[in-house]
Amino acid sequence: MVKTIRVSEEYHEWLTAHKEGDETMEETLRRMTRGPHPGDVAGLLTEDEADTAKEAVTDLRRRDRDRLNAAQAAFDASETTE
């Protein structure tokens, strides 16, 4: 099965610039993100373990977003006081 993902034009250009030889975009993304091949990790987790892992990732991303928003707010506040 093939999936399509949307990326910004700038990111696509950056990724294309980092392609090596006749790599596909998937191969370049795997190399750049050091992601494993799905077949290498299939079946390692039970469905419950996978759900728990997904929830943990969602929580981490939420906290990262909260920290980013706080940093942006602090930056914006410091610009208005200068």
Tell me the per-residue pLDDT of 32-72, one tens digit each, with 9 for 90 and over.
988 777 778 788 889 999 899 999 999 999 999 999 999 99
Gyration radius of the chain's alpha carbons: 19
| pLDDT for res 69 | 92
User: Do residues 23 and 31 lie in contact, with contact meaning Cβ atoms separated by under 8 Å?
Assistant: yes
Answer yes or no: is pLDDT of 79 > 80.
no
Phi-psi map region of 21: left, alpha, beta (phi>0 left; psi -120 to 50 alpha): left
49: three-class secondary structure by DSSP = helix
Answer yes or no: is pLDDT of 73 > 80.
yes
| pLDDT for res 22 | 94
Kindly report the pTM of this predicted structure. 0.43
Averaged over 2-28, what is the pLDDT? 92
